[in-house]
C-alpha cells in the first residue's frame, strides 16, 4: 500500500465517532502485533510515522497490517466509516478488522 494511502487510513481512523486511540500494528520484521497509539492524524514525514508508543520512525512500507478493535463500533460500522474515505483490503475477525498492507501468496 502506498504511503499516502496509509496516511489517509490513519486520518480516517482518527475521525471515527468516539475516536480510535489505539491500533494493533504488525510490522513485517516483528513477530507480534504491537499495540500503539493511532499514528497521525497529522504527519510530519511523508514516508513514515514518528514517535508512536515506543515505535519510532517506522516506514509505512514496513507495516504488514493494522488491526482495529470493534470495542466501540461493529465491524460493519468500521468498514462503512472507512469506505467513506477510501478503499482498503479489509479482513473481518471476531475482535475487529484487519487492514492489510500487502497480500502474501
Instruction: Encode pLDDT of 21-67 as tens digits.
Output: 999 999 998 899 999 888 888 877 776 676 555 556 788 888 999 99
User: How many helices (H) and strands (E) would you count in the chain?
Assistant: 2, 7
What 3-state DSSP class applies to 65? strand
If you search the block for the grid coordinates 486520518, which residue do you land on?
Answer: 11
90 φ, ψ to 5°? Answer: -110, 135
Whole-number mean pLDDT of the chain? 87
90 neighbors 80 (Cβ within 8 angstroms): no
pTM of the model: 0.87
If you search the block for the grid coordinates 496516511, which residue do you land on?
Answer: 7
Computed on alpha carbons and rounded to an integer, the radius of gyration of the chain in Å comes to 13
Amino acid at each position: 500500500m502506498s504511503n499516502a494511502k496509509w496516511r489517509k487510513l490513519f486520518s480516517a481512523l482518527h475521525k471515527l465517532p468516539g475516536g480510535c486511540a489505539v491500533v494493533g500494528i504488525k510490522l513485517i520484521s516483528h513477530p507480534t502485533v504491537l499495540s500503539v497509539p493511532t499514528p497521525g492524524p497529522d504527519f510530519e514525514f511523508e514516508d513514515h510515522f514518528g514517535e508512536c508508543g515506543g515505535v519510532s520512525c517506522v516506514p509505512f512500507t514496513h507495516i504488514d497490517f493494522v488491526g482495529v478493535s470493534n470495542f466501540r463500533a461493529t465491524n460493519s460500522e468500521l468498514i462503512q466509516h472507512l469506505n467513506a474515505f477510501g478503499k482498503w483490503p479489509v479482513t473481518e475477525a471476531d475482535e475487529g478488522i484487519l487492514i492489510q498492507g500487502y497480500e502474501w501468496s
